[in-house]
Amino acid sequence: MQGLMQHGALTVDKFLDHAAAWHGAREVISRDAAGIVTRSNYGEIHTLAKRVSNGLARAGIRPGDRVATMGWNSARHLAVWYGATGMGAVLHTLNPRLFLEQIAYIANHAGDRILFADPACAELIGELLPQVPTIERVIFLCDAATLPRTDYAATAFDDWAAGEPAEYAWGGFDENTACGLCYTSGTTGNPKGVLYGHRSNYIHALMTLQADALALSGRDSVLMVVPMYHANAWGMVYSAPAVGAKLVLPGQKMDGESLVDLIEQEGITFSSAVPTIWQGVLQYLRESGRGLGALKRVVIGGSAVPEALVRTFRDDYGVDVIQGWGMTETSPLATISTPSAEVAALPADEQIQYAIKQGRLLAGLELKLTDDEGNRLPHDGRTPGRLKIKGPTIVSGYFGGDGGNVLDEEGFFDTGDVSTIDDKGYMQITDRAKDVVKSGGEWISSIEIENIATGHPAVALAAVIGVAHPKWDERPILLCQLKPGASACRDDLTSFLDGKIARWWMPDDVLFVPEIPLGATGKIDKKLIRQRMEGYKLPFEVTR
C-alpha cells in the first residue's frame, strides 16, 4: 500500500522559486574586487536566473551539458547557478586557485561547454582556453564597463543576459537528474568528479536547516565566506534562499578588515569559513580593537578547529563556534558539533571539549569505524579507525567511473579519515589516513598536536608531519609559523605541549618557518610541506 500524498520532484530550482514568491524583497548583497557593493534581492535574482536559462538554451545547452563557473561569491554567480541547474544542465564550479594544469585537466574531464568567469580570472582563462577545446564561449560576470580586454572572444554577462526573456519553465525532470559537479582537490592522483543530484542537494539543504545543524532562519543575515566553488558552498546556496535569509556575498576580498566591514555594515548574524580565514579575522580584531557587531555564530569546517579559536570567539566576542565536518563527497555537511542535551548541561569549559570535536551525525546518514580489514570498531572515544559513511547525500561513485567501486560490501564510503566516536555520539577526526604519524606500530594524531600548538600565544599556524626514523619508522616534527612580531624557540613549544599530549607523541624537532603553505581551499597543504622537507633528517637520535 502506498501513501496518498501528492508527488513533487525534489529539484533545487524550487528553492529560488520559493524565495522569489515568498521572500522576494529580501536582500542579496554583492561586493566586487574594487570593493563596490551592489544590492539586489531574491525576486531580481530569480528573474535574472530565468534569463540565464534562456541564454543557455539559445546557445545550444541541453540537459546534462556541463556549464562551468570560475569565480567568487556574487549575485551574478548565484543567478548562473540556478539558471543552469533549473534547466537541467550540470553546474560545474572550477576553483581558480588551483594550478593551471589541474584546472585544464578538470575542465577537459568534465567536458565543459560554456564558462562564466570572474573578470579577475581573465589572464588565467587566456592560458586555459588553448588546453580545453570543449569550451565554446567565455562570459565574464560583469557589465560592459568592466569587461576585461582579452585576445580571445568574451562577452559581458549583463549584455549577454539583458535581451533574454524573463520566463522559463524550470524542472520537469526526474529528481535524480545530475545537478552539480565538483572535483576533489587531487592531493593524491588526479582530481575526481563528484556528481551531485537534485534530490541529494535538496535533501542536504533540509538536513542542514535543522536546529541542531546550521539552524538558518529568515531572520538571519548570512555572510557566505566559504567559496561557491567549494562543495556547494556547504549547501548555503540552497538553504539561505529556502528560508529567505539575507545573503551577503563578499567576492574575492577575504582579509580580516574587508570581512569585518561587511559584518558590521550588513548586520551579519551568521557566517561560515575555514579556520585560516577566521584566524585572520581575529588577528585583525586584536590589532584594530574593532568588534563583530550582531554576529552570533560561525560555522567552521574544512580542517580541525583549534580550542584557542573557540575560546577567543566565545570569551572575547560572544560568538558561538559550530564546527562542521564533511567533504566534497558528502555534499558536504555530515556531522556538526552543536551540543546535545547532555553536553549542554555541562559547565562551559567542559562543553568546549565537545565543541572542538567534529560533532554528531545529521539525520539520514550512517557512520561506522573499521580497522584496515573492515572489522567494526567500538564507539568508545578512544579507539581510532577508518571513518566510513553512508546515506542519500553521499557519493556512490566518481564521474566517468574514476576510482572504480568506492563503496564497501555494506554500501559505506571510506572517507580517508581516521577518527574516534565517543559514547555520546561525537565524532573526532584524529588524522587523515595519509597524514597520521605511524610510530612504533602506534598512531600519533598530527591534528591534535597542531591544535594544541596553535594555542601558544606566539603561533599563527602549525603543521605536523612524520619523518623517517630508523627505530620507530616515523617520528613527528612540528613546523610553526609565528604571528607578526612574535618570537619563540623550540623549548617554548615543547614546554607548552608537555602535559597536554602523551610523552611519546612529543615532536622530535620544532622548526620555525616563514610560511606554512595553504592549499586552494584554505587548508594546510601537507603534500607541499613534505616536498619542501624532502631530505630532512632528525638532528639527534631519540630514545623514547
- What residue ranges do the domains of the chain occupy? 435-532
Rg (CA), the chain: 23
Given pLDDT bands bounded at 50, 70 and 90, which one contains residue 441? low
Using CA atoms, how far apart are residues 301 and 429, in angstroms rounded to an integer? Answer: 12
Q: Is the pLDDT of residue 504 over 90?
A: no
Instruction: In whole angstroms, give the CA distance from residue 513 to residue 477.
Output: 13
Check if 184 is active-site.
Answer: yes
pLDDT at residue 186 greater than cutoff 60? no
In DSSP notation, 49-110 reads HHHHHHHHHHTT--TT-EEEEES-S-HHHHHHHHHHHHTT-EEEEE-TTS-HHHHHHHHHHH
Condensed to tens digits (0 to 9), the pLDDT of residues 260-312 reads 999 999 999 999 998 889 989 999 999 999 999 999 999 998 777 888 899 99
pLDDT of 315: 95
**Average of per-residue pLDDT across 136-152:** 97
Query: Which of 267, 424, 410, 417 shows the shortest CA–CA distance to 337?
Result: 424
pLDDT digits (tens, 9 = 90+) for 86-108: 999 999 999 998 889 889 999 99
Helix (H), strand (E) counts: the chain:
16, 25
The pLDDT value given to residue 544: 45
Is 505 a residue of the active site?
no
**Domain 435-532 maps to which CATH number in 3.10.180.10, 3.30.300.30, 1.10.1040.10, 3.40.47.10?**
3.30.300.30
pLDDT at 188: 53
* Single-letter amino acid, residue 264: E
What pLDDT band is residue 542 in, cutting at 50, 70 and 90?
Answer: very low
Long-range Cβ contact pairs of 184-191 (< 8 A, separation 24 or more): 184/328, 184/329, 185/328, 185/519, 185/520, 185/521, 186/102, 187/434, 187/519, 187/527, 188/434, 190/105, 190/109, 190/402, 191/102, 191/105, 191/106, 191/109
Long-range own/partner contacts, residues 408-417 (CB < 8 A, 24 or more apart): 408/374, 409/374, 410/368, 412/366, 412/368, 412/388, 413/329, 413/388, 413/389, 414/386, 414/387, 414/388, 415/327, 415/329, 415/330, 415/386, 415/387, 415/388, 415/389, 416/386, 417/386, 417/387
pTM for this predicted structure: 0.85
* Mean pLDDT, rounded, of the chain: 93
User: Are β-strands 366-370 and 385-390 bridged in parallel, bridged antiparallel, or unpaired?
Assistant: antiparallel
pLDDT one-digit tens code per residue, 211-250: 999 999 999 999 999 999 988 899 999 999 999 999 999 9
pLDDT of 540: 61
Query: Is a pLDDT exceeding 90 seen at residue 437?
Result: no
Per-residue pLDDT band at 525 (split at 50, 70, 90): confident
Give the per-residue pLDDT at 146.
95
Task: Please confirm, yes or no, whether 38 is among the known catalytic residues.
Answer: no
The pLDDT of 42-56, averaged and rounded, is 98
Selecting among 438, 442, 471, 500, the annotated active-site residue is 438
List the catalytic residue out of 150, 187, 443, 523: 443
Residue 523 catalytic?
Answer: no
Stretch 36-64: mean pLDDT: 97
The yes-or-no verdict on residue 141 having pLDDT over 90 is yes
312-370 pLDDT tens trace: 999 999 999 999 999 999 999 999 999 999 999 999 999 999 999 999 999 999 999 99
